[in-house]
């Protein structure tokens, strides 16, 4: 084969490999974001509930 074609094939293989790495990185980022969103919901819901309960107590103290 011509050297130019061989060069193009080699570069295409590198590009293909790099795209596979990017795909894997995107999957990893998606998994991390899902985990963070779930953790925020698990932590945020009880905190909101506690804040709501305490706010009622504070308002009762201020109005009495």
- Compute the 3-state secondary structure of the chain and give helix, strand, coil in percent, each to the nearest 5: 95, 0, 5
Give the span between the Cα atoms of 22 and 34, in whole angstroms. Answer: 18
Percent of the chain with pLDDT over 90: 62
Give the span between the Cα atoms of 22 and 26, in whole angstroms. Answer: 6
pLDDT tens by residue, 25-51: 999 999 999 999 999 999 999 988 888
Tokens of 13: 């293989």
pTM: 0.59
Instruction: Give the pLDDT of residue 23.
Output: 98
């Amino acid at each position: 084969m011509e050297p130019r074609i061989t060069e193009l094939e080699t570069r295409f293989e590198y590009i293909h490999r790099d795209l596979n790495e990017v795909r894997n990185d995107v999957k990893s980022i998606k998994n991390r974001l899902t985990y963070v969103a779930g953790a925020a919901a698990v932590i945020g819901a009880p905190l909101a509930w506690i804040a709501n309960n305490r706010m009622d107590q504070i308002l009762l103290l201020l109005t009495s």
